[in-house]
Chain A
Amino acid sequence: MIRFILNGREIEVEVPPHWTLLRLLRERLELKGTKEGCGIGECGACTVLLDGMPVNSCLVLAPKVEGRRVETIEGIGNKESLHPLQKSFIEFGAVQCGFCTPGVLMSAKSLLERNPHPTREEIKEAISGNLCRCTGYQQIIEAIEAVVNHLKRETI
Protein backbone atom coordinates (compact mmCIF):
# COMPACT_ATOMS: atom_id res chain seq x y z
CA MET A 1 0.00 0.00 0.00
CA ILE A 2 1.41 3.42 -0.90
CA ARG A 3 0.18 6.89 -0.06
CA PHE A 4 0.83 10.00 -2.07
CA ILE A 5 -0.75 13.22 -3.32
CA LEU A 6 -2.17 12.81 -6.80
CA ASN A 7 -3.40 15.97 -8.50
CA GLY A 8 -3.90 17.66 -5.17
CA ARG A 9 -5.73 14.79 -3.48
CA GLU A 10 -4.27 12.31 -1.06
CA ILE A 11 -4.70 8.75 -2.24
CA GLU A 12 -3.85 5.31 -0.95
CA VAL A 13 -3.41 2.47 -3.38
CA GLU A 14 -2.16 -1.09 -3.49
CA VAL A 15 0.60 -1.55 -6.04
CA PRO A 16 3.00 -4.42 -6.79
CA PRO A 17 6.65 -3.47 -6.20
CA HIS A 18 7.68 -3.97 -9.82
CA TRP A 19 5.11 -1.63 -11.30
CA THR A 20 6.21 1.68 -12.72
CA LEU A 21 4.40 4.90 -11.89
CA LEU A 22 3.18 4.96 -15.49
CA ARG A 23 1.59 1.55 -15.15
CA LEU A 24 0.00 2.51 -11.84
CA LEU A 25 -1.51 5.65 -13.37
CA ARG A 26 -2.84 3.99 -16.47
CA GLU A 27 -3.77 0.50 -15.38
CA ARG A 28 -4.86 0.90 -11.80
CA LEU A 29 -5.95 4.52 -11.49
CA GLU A 30 -7.40 4.65 -15.00
CA LEU A 31 -5.67 7.94 -15.76
CA LYS A 32 -4.98 7.36 -19.44
CA GLY A 33 -3.98 10.90 -20.28
CA THR A 34 -0.38 10.00 -19.54
CA LYS A 35 0.87 8.03 -22.55
CA GLU A 36 3.31 5.21 -22.97
CA GLY A 37 5.48 5.59 -26.03
CA CYS A 38 8.85 3.92 -25.69
CA GLY A 39 8.89 2.75 -22.08
CA ILE A 40 12.63 3.47 -21.87
CA GLY A 41 12.93 7.18 -21.18
CA GLU A 42 13.42 8.33 -24.74
CA CYS A 43 10.13 9.88 -25.86
CA GLY A 44 8.70 11.86 -22.94
CA ALA A 45 5.09 10.85 -23.67
CA CYS A 46 4.86 9.60 -20.08
CA THR A 47 6.09 12.85 -18.47
CA VAL A 48 4.41 13.70 -15.16
CA LEU A 49 5.47 16.04 -12.36
CA LEU A 50 7.01 14.59 -9.22
CA ASP A 51 7.25 17.22 -6.50
CA GLY A 52 6.85 19.78 -9.27
CA MET A 53 9.64 18.48 -11.49
CA PRO A 54 9.08 16.63 -14.76
CA VAL A 55 10.08 12.97 -14.73
CA ASN A 56 9.56 10.05 -17.09
CA SER A 57 6.95 8.00 -15.26
CA CYS A 58 8.05 4.90 -17.19
CA LEU A 59 11.40 5.10 -15.37
CA VAL A 60 10.00 5.60 -11.86
CA LEU A 61 9.04 2.62 -9.72
CA ALA A 62 5.61 3.26 -8.24
CA PRO A 63 6.63 2.60 -4.60
CA LYS A 64 9.13 5.46 -4.94
CA VAL A 65 6.35 8.09 -4.95
CA GLU A 66 5.29 7.24 -1.38
CA GLY A 67 4.77 10.51 0.48
CA ARG A 68 5.39 12.64 -2.60
CA ARG A 69 3.35 14.85 -4.90
CA VAL A 70 2.41 13.61 -8.37
CA GLU A 71 0.70 15.71 -11.03
CA THR A 72 -0.68 14.39 -14.29
CA ILE A 73 -2.40 15.98 -17.26
CA GLU A 74 -5.78 15.21 -15.66
CA GLY A 75 -4.84 17.58 -12.84
CA ILE A 76 -4.05 20.69 -14.83
CA GLY A 77 -7.41 21.47 -16.38
CA ASN A 78 -10.63 20.00 -17.73
CA LYS A 79 -12.99 20.59 -20.62
CA GLU A 80 -14.83 23.36 -18.78
CA SER A 81 -11.76 25.19 -17.59
CA LEU A 82 -8.66 24.56 -19.62
CA HIS A 83 -5.22 25.52 -18.38
CA PRO A 84 -3.85 28.60 -20.22
CA LEU A 85 -1.22 26.36 -21.81
CA GLN A 86 -3.93 24.03 -23.10
CA LYS A 87 -5.87 26.95 -24.59
CA SER A 88 -2.77 28.28 -26.21
CA PHE A 89 -1.88 24.87 -27.66
CA ILE A 90 -5.29 24.72 -29.32
CA GLU A 91 -5.01 28.26 -30.62
CA PHE A 92 -1.57 27.73 -32.14
CA GLY A 93 -2.25 24.32 -33.65
CA ALA A 94 0.34 22.77 -31.36
CA VAL A 95 -1.69 19.57 -31.17
CA GLN A 96 -1.87 17.29 -34.16
CA CYS A 97 -2.13 13.60 -33.34
CA GLY A 98 -1.94 14.62 -29.68
CA PHE A 99 0.12 11.70 -28.42
CA CYS A 100 2.98 13.84 -27.16
CA THR A 101 0.77 16.65 -25.91
CA PRO A 102 0.15 15.62 -22.29
CA GLY A 103 3.88 15.13 -21.76
CA VAL A 104 4.82 18.41 -23.41
CA LEU A 105 2.21 20.27 -21.37
CA MET A 106 3.58 18.84 -18.13
CA SER A 107 7.13 19.87 -19.03
CA ALA A 108 5.92 23.34 -20.00
CA LYS A 109 3.82 23.76 -16.88
CA SER A 110 6.72 22.85 -14.63
CA LEU A 111 8.96 25.30 -16.47
CA LEU A 112 6.53 28.21 -16.10
CA GLU A 113 6.03 27.48 -12.42
CA ARG A 114 9.74 27.66 -11.77
CA ASN A 115 10.56 30.33 -14.32
CA PRO A 116 7.59 32.45 -15.46
CA HIS A 117 9.63 34.40 -18.01
CA PRO A 118 11.78 31.85 -19.83
CA THR A 119 13.65 32.67 -23.01
CA ARG A 120 12.99 30.75 -26.20
CA GLU A 121 16.14 28.73 -25.53
CA GLU A 122 14.94 27.84 -22.06
CA ILE A 123 11.61 26.72 -23.49
CA LYS A 124 13.37 24.51 -26.01
CA GLU A 125 15.56 23.00 -23.31
CA ALA A 126 12.54 22.35 -21.08
CA ILE A 127 10.72 20.37 -23.77
CA SER A 128 13.83 18.69 -25.16
CA GLY A 129 12.78 15.43 -23.52
CA ASN A 130 9.46 15.38 -25.35
CA LEU A 131 9.50 13.98 -28.85
CA CYS A 132 6.81 15.18 -31.22
CA ARG A 133 6.60 13.47 -34.59
CA CYS A 134 3.89 15.74 -36.01
CA THR A 135 4.25 19.43 -35.39
CA GLY A 136 7.93 20.05 -35.93
CA TYR A 137 7.91 21.80 -32.54
CA GLN A 138 7.50 25.30 -33.93
CA GLN A 139 3.84 25.61 -32.97
CA ILE A 140 4.52 24.12 -29.56
CA ILE A 141 7.24 26.64 -28.82
CA GLU A 142 5.07 29.50 -30.06
CA ALA A 143 2.13 28.34 -27.95
CA ILE A 144 4.28 28.33 -24.85
CA GLU A 145 5.81 31.70 -25.73
CA ALA A 146 2.34 33.18 -26.12
CA VAL A 147 1.49 32.17 -22.56
CA VAL A 148 4.77 33.61 -21.35
CA ASN A 149 4.07 36.91 -23.08
CA HIS A 150 0.60 36.94 -21.63
CA LEU A 151 2.04 36.37 -18.15
CA LYS A 152 4.50 39.18 -18.74
CA ARG A 153 1.72 41.58 -19.66
CA GLU A 154 -0.20 40.60 -16.59
CA THR A 155 2.66 41.36 -14.26
CA ILE A 156 3.39 44.78 -15.75
Chain B
Amino acid sequence: MNLPQFEFIQPRSVEETCDLLKKHGEEATLLAGGTALIVYLRYRLKKPKVVIGLKGLTGLNYLSQQKEGLTIGSMVTLETLERSPMIFHGYPPLNSAIQQIAVPPVRNQATLGGNICLENRCIFYNQSEFWRKTQGPCLRLGGGVCYAVEKGKRCQAVYSGDLAPLLIALNAKVKILSAQRERTLPLADFFTGRGEKPNILNQDELLTEIQIPLTEPGVGYAYEKLRVREGMEFPMAGVAVRIKRGENGTIEQIKIVLGAVGTAPIEVTKASDLLVGQKFDDKILEEFSNQAMEAARPVGNQIMNSEYRRKMVGVLTKRALRRAWAMTEKRESS
Protein backbone atom coordinates (compact mmCIF):
# COMPACT_ATOMS: atom_id res chain seq x y z
CA MET B 1 0.00 0.00 0.00
CA ASN B 2 1.66 3.17 -1.18
CA LEU B 3 1.43 6.64 0.24
CA PRO B 4 -0.86 9.21 -1.37
CA GLN B 5 0.82 11.93 -3.38
CA PHE B 6 1.93 15.13 -1.71
CA GLU B 7 4.58 17.77 -1.91
CA PHE B 8 7.37 17.43 0.66
CA ILE B 9 9.06 20.58 1.93
CA GLN B 10 11.93 20.60 4.39
CA PRO B 11 12.34 24.08 5.85
CA ARG B 12 15.61 25.13 7.47
CA SER B 13 14.28 27.37 10.21
CA VAL B 14 11.40 27.67 12.60
CA GLU B 15 10.39 31.00 11.01
CA GLU B 16 10.24 29.43 7.58
CA THR B 17 8.13 26.60 9.01
CA CYS B 18 5.65 29.04 10.51
CA ASP B 19 5.38 30.89 7.20
CA LEU B 20 4.75 27.63 5.37
CA LEU B 21 2.06 26.66 7.86
CA LYS B 22 0.40 30.02 7.41
CA LYS B 23 0.60 29.84 3.64
CA HIS B 24 -0.72 26.31 3.21
CA GLY B 25 -3.28 26.30 6.04
CA GLU B 26 -5.44 23.18 6.18
CA GLU B 27 -3.56 21.62 3.29
CA ALA B 28 -0.35 21.19 5.27
CA THR B 29 0.72 18.60 7.84
CA LEU B 30 3.87 18.47 9.92
CA LEU B 31 6.17 15.46 9.85
CA ALA B 32 8.64 15.08 12.72
CA GLY B 33 9.95 11.50 13.00
CA GLY B 34 7.04 10.33 10.89
CA THR B 35 6.59 7.10 12.82
CA ALA B 36 2.95 7.96 13.43
CA LEU B 37 2.27 10.28 10.52
CA ILE B 38 3.38 7.87 7.80
CA VAL B 39 0.87 5.38 9.14
CA TYR B 40 -1.92 8.02 9.09
CA LEU B 41 -1.00 8.77 5.48
CA ARG B 42 -0.90 5.16 4.46
CA TYR B 43 -4.33 4.63 5.97
CA ARG B 44 -5.54 7.84 4.31
CA LEU B 45 -6.49 9.27 7.69
CA LYS B 46 -4.80 12.45 6.60
CA LYS B 47 -4.65 13.63 3.03
CA PRO B 48 -2.39 16.67 3.00
CA LYS B 49 -1.30 18.40 -0.18
CA VAL B 50 1.89 19.51 1.54
CA VAL B 51 3.94 17.65 4.13
CA ILE B 52 6.39 19.83 6.04
CA GLY B 53 9.39 17.87 7.31
CA LEU B 54 10.88 19.23 10.52
CA LYS B 55 14.12 17.23 10.59
CA GLY B 56 16.11 20.19 9.24
CA LEU B 57 15.17 22.33 12.23
CA THR B 58 18.37 21.70 14.12
CA GLY B 59 17.38 24.60 16.35
CA LEU B 60 14.72 22.35 17.90
CA ASN B 61 17.15 19.57 18.66
CA TYR B 62 18.46 20.38 22.13
CA LEU B 63 18.35 19.05 25.64
CA SER B 64 19.58 21.22 28.45
CA GLN B 65 19.55 21.22 32.19
CA GLN B 66 19.09 24.61 33.81
CA LYS B 67 18.41 25.63 37.33
CA GLU B 68 14.65 25.66 36.71
CA GLY B 69 14.75 22.19 35.23
CA LEU B 70 15.06 20.43 31.93
CA THR B 71 14.24 22.02 28.59
CA ILE B 72 13.90 19.78 25.57
CA GLY B 73 13.44 20.82 21.95
CA SER B 74 10.47 19.12 20.32
CA MET B 75 12.65 17.49 17.62
CA VAL B 76 14.84 15.51 20.03
CA THR B 77 14.43 11.82 19.30
CA LEU B 78 13.31 9.32 21.89
CA GLU B 79 16.57 7.48 21.30
CA THR B 80 18.59 10.58 22.20
CA LEU B 81 16.57 11.01 25.38
CA GLU B 82 16.96 7.35 26.23
CA ARG B 83 20.75 7.55 25.90
CA SER B 84 21.09 10.87 27.70
CA PRO B 85 23.03 10.49 30.96
CA MET B 86 21.24 13.63 32.16
CA ILE B 87 17.92 11.81 32.00
CA PHE B 88 19.24 8.41 33.00
CA HIS B 89 20.71 9.79 36.23
CA GLY B 90 18.50 12.81 36.82
CA TYR B 91 15.09 11.47 35.76
CA PRO B 92 15.27 7.65 35.87
CA PRO B 93 11.50 7.05 35.69
CA LEU B 94 11.34 9.16 32.53
CA ASN B 95 14.13 7.07 31.04
CA SER B 96 12.22 3.91 31.82
CA ALA B 97 8.95 5.29 30.36
CA ILE B 98 10.77 6.12 27.12
CA GLN B 99 12.25 2.63 26.91
CA GLN B 100 8.75 1.22 27.06
CA ILE B 101 7.68 3.05 23.90
CA ALA B 102 7.56 1.04 20.69
CA VAL B 103 10.90 -0.60 19.72
CA PRO B 104 14.44 0.66 19.01
CA PRO B 105 14.06 1.30 15.23
CA VAL B 106 10.95 3.38 15.91
CA ARG B 107 12.56 5.29 18.79
CA ASN B 108 15.52 6.12 16.56
CA GLN B 109 13.19 8.24 14.42
CA ALA B 110 10.40 9.21 16.82
CA THR B 111 10.55 12.61 18.48
CA LEU B 112 9.29 13.91 21.80
CA GLY B 113 7.18 16.56 20.07
CA GLY B 114 5.56 13.95 17.83
CA ASN B 115 4.87 11.77 20.83
CA ILE B 116 2.98 14.53 22.61
CA CYS B 117 1.12 15.57 19.43
CA LEU B 118 -0.11 12.03 18.61
CA GLU B 119 -3.62 11.75 17.24
CA ASN B 120 -6.08 9.74 19.29
CA ARG B 121 -6.50 6.08 18.43
CA CYS B 122 -9.46 3.79 17.95
CA ILE B 123 -9.72 0.33 16.39
CA PHE B 124 -12.53 1.52 14.14
CA TYR B 125 -10.48 4.47 12.93
CA ASN B 126 -6.85 3.34 12.75
CA GLN B 127 -7.48 0.93 9.91
CA SER B 128 -6.87 0.92 6.20
CA GLU B 129 -9.27 2.77 3.95
CA PHE B 130 -10.45 -0.57 2.57
CA TRP B 131 -11.23 -1.92 6.04
CA ARG B 132 -13.08 1.25 6.99
CA LYS B 133 -15.20 1.13 3.84
CA THR B 134 -16.84 -2.07 5.00
CA GLN B 135 -18.79 -0.22 7.66
CA GLY B 136 -18.97 3.40 6.57
CA PRO B 137 -17.27 6.43 8.10
CA CYS B 138 -17.34 6.95 11.86
CA LEU B 139 -18.01 10.31 13.51
CA ARG B 140 -14.42 11.39 13.16
CA LEU B 141 -14.44 10.77 9.43
CA GLY B 142 -17.64 12.68 8.86
CA GLY B 143 -20.12 9.89 9.61
CA GLY B 144 -22.94 10.06 12.14
CA VAL B 145 -21.91 7.57 14.80
CA CYS B 146 -18.95 6.53 16.94
CA TYR B 147 -18.62 2.75 16.70
CA ALA B 148 -16.58 2.48 19.88
CA VAL B 149 -19.66 2.64 22.10
CA GLU B 150 -23.25 1.80 21.35
CA LYS B 151 -24.91 4.66 19.44
CA GLY B 152 -21.92 6.85 20.27
CA LYS B 153 -22.61 10.51 19.72
CA ARG B 154 -19.11 11.60 20.70
CA CYS B 155 -15.79 10.44 19.30
CA GLN B 156 -14.26 8.11 21.88
CA ALA B 157 -10.82 7.69 20.29
CA VAL B 158 -8.21 7.25 22.99
CA TYR B 159 -5.20 9.42 23.69
CA SER B 160 -2.45 6.79 23.80
CA GLY B 161 0.79 8.73 24.07
CA ASP B 162 2.99 7.31 26.81
CA LEU B 163 4.87 10.40 27.85
CA ALA B 164 2.16 13.03 28.34
CA PRO B 165 0.75 11.49 31.55
CA LEU B 166 4.16 11.37 33.21
CA LEU B 167 5.11 14.84 31.98
CA ILE B 168 1.80 16.24 33.27
CA ALA B 169 2.43 14.60 36.63
CA LEU B 170 5.78 16.41 36.64
CA ASN B 171 4.06 19.75 35.88
CA ALA B 172 5.70 20.09 32.48
CA LYS B 173 4.97 23.02 30.21
CA VAL B 174 5.00 23.30 26.44
CA LYS B 175 6.01 26.16 24.20
CA ILE B 176 3.96 26.74 21.06
CA LEU B 177 4.89 28.97 18.18
CA SER B 178 3.16 30.44 15.15
CA ALA B 179 4.06 33.24 12.77
CA GLN B 180 2.08 35.60 15.01
CA ARG B 181 2.87 34.62 18.54
CA GLU B 182 4.54 32.36 21.04
CA ARG B 183 2.75 30.93 24.04
CA THR B 184 3.76 28.69 26.92
CA LEU B 185 1.20 26.68 28.81
CA PRO B 186 0.96 23.72 31.17
CA LEU B 187 0.97 20.45 29.24
CA ALA B 188 -2.22 19.57 31.14
CA ASP B 189 -3.99 22.38 29.26
CA PHE B 190 -2.66 21.21 25.90
CA PHE B 191 -5.28 18.49 25.57
CA THR B 192 -8.89 19.10 24.55
CA GLY B 193 -10.50 15.79 25.46
CA ARG B 194 -12.04 15.67 22.00
CA GLY B 195 -11.27 12.39 20.31
CA GLU B 196 -11.17 13.88 16.83
CA LYS B 197 -8.98 16.85 17.79
CA PRO B 198 -6.93 15.89 20.81
CA ASN B 199 -4.82 19.01 21.27
CA ILE B 200 -5.29 22.76 21.16
CA LEU B 201 -2.76 23.44 18.39
CA ASN B 202 -4.12 25.72 15.70
CA GLN B 203 -3.43 24.85 12.10
CA ASP B 204 -0.57 27.38 11.95
CA GLU B 205 1.09 26.37 15.20
CA LEU B 206 4.06 24.19 16.05
CA LEU B 207 5.16 22.69 19.34
CA THR B 208 8.75 23.80 19.93
CA GLU B 209 9.78 23.02 23.49
CA ILE B 210 8.95 20.92 26.52
CA GLN B 211 9.96 22.21 29.94
CA ILE B 212 10.19 19.89 32.92
CA PRO B 213 10.62 21.68 36.24
CA LEU B 214 13.22 20.43 38.66
CA THR B 215 11.80 17.96 41.16
CA GLU B 216 12.22 19.17 44.72
CA PRO B 217 13.77 17.03 47.43
CA GLY B 218 11.28 14.54 48.82
CA VAL B 219 9.58 14.03 45.48
CA GLY B 220 9.26 10.65 43.80
CA TYR B 221 7.45 9.73 40.60
CA ALA B 222 6.79 6.74 38.38
CA TYR B 223 4.98 5.50 35.29
CA GLU B 224 3.33 2.10 34.92
CA LYS B 225 2.11 0.80 31.60
CA LEU B 226 -0.28 -1.99 30.71
CA ARG B 227 0.28 -3.72 27.39
CA VAL B 228 -0.30 -7.06 25.74
CA ARG B 229 3.32 -7.91 25.03
CA GLU B 230 6.48 -6.26 26.19
CA GLY B 231 7.57 -4.55 23.00
CA MET B 232 6.06 -2.54 20.20
CA GLU B 233 2.87 -1.67 21.93
CA PHE B 234 0.78 1.37 22.67
CA PRO B 235 -0.49 1.40 26.25
CA MET B 236 -3.81 -0.26 27.07
CA ALA B 237 -3.64 1.88 30.20
CA GLY B 238 -0.95 4.01 31.77
CA VAL B 239 -0.64 5.51 35.23
CA ALA B 240 1.78 8.28 36.15
CA VAL B 241 2.17 9.49 39.71
CA ARG B 242 4.15 12.12 41.52
CA ILE B 243 4.28 12.12 45.28
CA LYS B 244 5.96 14.34 47.85
CA ARG B 245 6.98 13.10 51.24
CA GLY B 246 6.33 15.36 54.22
CA GLU B 247 7.27 15.14 57.90
CA ASN B 248 7.31 11.72 59.57
CA GLY B 249 6.52 9.67 56.53
CA THR B 250 3.35 11.55 55.68
CA ILE B 251 2.23 12.45 52.17
CA GLU B 252 2.51 16.14 51.46
CA GLN B 253 1.46 16.26 47.79
CA ILE B 254 0.20 13.81 45.27
CA LYS B 255 -0.70 13.82 41.62
CA ILE B 256 -2.05 10.89 39.63
CA VAL B 257 -2.50 11.10 35.85
CA LEU B 258 -4.02 8.35 33.73
CA GLY B 259 -3.22 7.63 30.10
CA ALA B 260 -4.97 5.60 27.40
CA VAL B 261 -8.22 5.37 29.36
CA GLY B 262 -9.89 8.45 27.96
CA THR B 263 -9.88 10.98 25.17
CA ALA B 264 -7.10 12.89 26.97
CA PRO B 265 -4.73 12.22 29.87
CA ILE B 266 -6.92 12.29 33.00
CA GLU B 267 -5.82 13.85 36.24
CA VAL B 268 -7.36 12.11 39.23
CA THR B 269 -8.28 15.34 40.95
CA LYS B 270 -9.96 13.76 43.94
CA ALA B 271 -6.70 12.17 44.95
CA SER B 272 -5.13 15.37 46.14
CA ASP B 273 -8.08 16.32 48.35
CA LEU B 274 -7.88 13.11 50.29
CA LEU B 275 -4.61 12.96 51.80
CA VAL B 276 -2.62 15.83 53.07
CA GLY B 277 -0.87 14.76 56.23
CA GLN B 278 -1.86 11.09 55.86
CA LYS B 279 0.63 8.31 56.37
CA PHE B 280 1.65 6.30 53.35
CA ASP B 281 0.09 2.91 54.06
CA ASP B 282 -2.00 0.17 52.45
CA LYS B 283 -5.21 1.88 53.40
CA ILE B 284 -4.41 5.10 51.61
CA LEU B 285 -3.06 3.16 48.63
CA GLU B 286 -6.41 1.43 48.39
CA GLU B 287 -8.22 4.76 48.37
CA PHE B 288 -6.01 6.25 45.69
CA SER B 289 -6.40 3.13 43.65
CA ASN B 290 -10.22 3.32 43.92
CA GLN B 291 -10.24 6.93 42.88
CA ALA B 292 -8.05 6.25 39.89
CA MET B 293 -10.42 3.46 38.80
CA GLU B 294 -13.36 5.79 39.18
CA ALA B 295 -11.72 8.50 37.09
CA ALA B 296 -10.74 6.15 34.25
CA ARG B 297 -12.96 6.12 31.16
CA PRO B 298 -11.82 3.03 29.27
CA VAL B 299 -13.88 2.13 26.22
CA GLY B 300 -14.21 -1.47 25.17
CA ASN B 301 -12.77 -0.87 21.74
CA GLN B 302 -9.41 -2.39 22.42
CA ILE B 303 -8.00 -5.84 22.81
CA MET B 304 -8.57 -5.92 26.54
CA ASN B 305 -12.11 -5.25 27.71
CA SER B 306 -12.89 -2.07 29.54
CA GLU B 307 -13.61 -3.59 32.95
CA TYR B 308 -10.29 -5.39 33.00
CA ARG B 309 -8.49 -2.22 32.00
CA ARG B 310 -10.29 -0.23 34.68
CA LYS B 311 -9.25 -2.75 37.32
CA MET B 312 -5.71 -2.67 36.04
CA VAL B 313 -5.69 1.11 36.44
CA GLY B 314 -6.20 0.45 40.14
CA VAL B 315 -3.39 -2.10 40.23
CA LEU B 316 -1.01 0.10 38.26
CA THR B 317 -1.79 3.04 40.54
CA LYS B 318 -0.66 1.05 43.56
CA ARG B 319 2.47 -0.18 41.80
CA ALA B 320 3.37 3.30 40.63
CA LEU B 321 2.78 4.82 44.05
CA ARG B 322 4.91 2.21 45.78
CA ARG B 323 7.75 2.85 43.37
CA ALA B 324 7.43 6.61 43.62
CA TRP B 325 7.38 6.40 47.40
CA ALA B 326 10.50 4.24 47.42
CA MET B 327 12.14 6.91 45.29
CA THR B 328 11.36 9.60 47.89
CA GLU B 329 13.04 7.43 50.52
CA LYS B 330 16.15 6.97 48.44
CA ARG B 331 16.35 10.63 47.68
CA GLU B 332 15.95 11.63 51.30
CA SER B 333 18.82 9.52 52.49
CA SER B 334 21.20 10.54 49.70
State the A residues within 8 Å of B (CB): 16-20, 23, 39-42, 44, 47, 50, 53-56, 58-61, 63-64, 107, 125-126, 128-129
Contact = CB atoms under 8 A, between A and B. Distances in A.
6 contacts: A18-B8, A54-B104, A56-B106, A59-B106, A60-B34, A128-B104
* Highest count of chain B CB atoms <10 Å: which of A20, A41, A42, A53: A41
A126 B79 CA distance: 13
The B contact surface, by secondary structure, is loop
Contact of B108 (A23, A55, A125, A128): A55
Nearest to B233: A42
Contacts, number: 87
Given A53-B108, A59-B33, 8 more contacts: A18-B8, A19-B3, A41-B102, A41-B105, A50-B108, A107-B105, A128-B232, A129-B104
Interface string B139-181: 0000000000000000000000000000000000000000000
Contact of B31 (A16, A19, A61): A61
Interface residues of B, number: 31
B7 A59 contact: no
The A contact surface, by secondary structure, is mixed
B103 interface: yes
A18 B55 CA distance: 16
B109 interface: yes
B1 interface: yes
B31 A47 contact: no
A51 B205 CA distance: 30
B2 interface: yes
Contact of A41 (B2, B3, B35, B231): B35
A54 B232 contact: no
A59 B35 contact: yes
Nearest to B7: A17
A16 B31 CA distance: 17
A40 B39 contact: yes
A19 B104 CA distance: 23
B121 to A, nearest CB: 13
Interface in B2-39: 2-8, 10, 31, 33-35, 38-39
Contacts of B109: 55-56, 59-60
A61 B8 contact: yes
A96 B159 CA distance: 39
